[in-house]
Copies of this chain bind each other. A is one copy, B any other.
Amino acid sequence: MSTTDTAAGVAEAAAAGTTGAQDRRGVQALSPGATALLKTLDALFEGWGTDAGAASMIMQPLLPVESLARLDFYDNFPHQALLAAPLDLAKRDGTPGARPSSFAPEALEPAVLGLPSAACFAVYLYHEGRQVADGTTVTVLGRCFRREEYYEGLSRLLGFHMREIVALGSREFVQAHLRRFGDRITAFSEALGLPLRKEAATDPFYDRGGQRALLQKLSPVKHEFLAGDLAIASLNVHRNFFGERCDIRLEGTGEPVYTSCAAFGLERWLTVLHERYGSWEAAVEAVWAAGEAVREGDGDASRS
> Which A residues form the contact surface with B (CB < 8 A)?
6-11, 14-15, 23, 25, 27-32, 34-36, 38-39, 53-66, 69-70, 72, 74-75, 78-79, 81-89, 92, 94, 96-113, 115, 122, 126, 130, 132-133, 135-138, 143, 145, 147, 158-159, 161
Contacts and interface: CB of A to CB of B under 8 A. Distances in A.
B75 A96 contact: yes
Given A79-B89, A99-B70, A135-B9, A159 B57 contact: no
B105 A64 contact: no
Contacts of A143: 61, 143
Given A9-B136, A113-B27, A105 B102 contact: no
A103 B83 contact: yes
A115 B82 CA distance: 12
A4 to B, nearest CB: 11
B108 A69 contact: no
Contacts of A69: 98-101
A99 B66 contact: yes
A267 to B, nearest CB: 10
A83 B57 contact: no
Contact of A62 (B31, B83, B158): B158
Contacts of A65: 100-103
B60 A10 contact: no
A78 B92 CA distance: 9
A106 B88 CA distance: 13
A29 B96 contact: no
Contacts of A32: 55-57
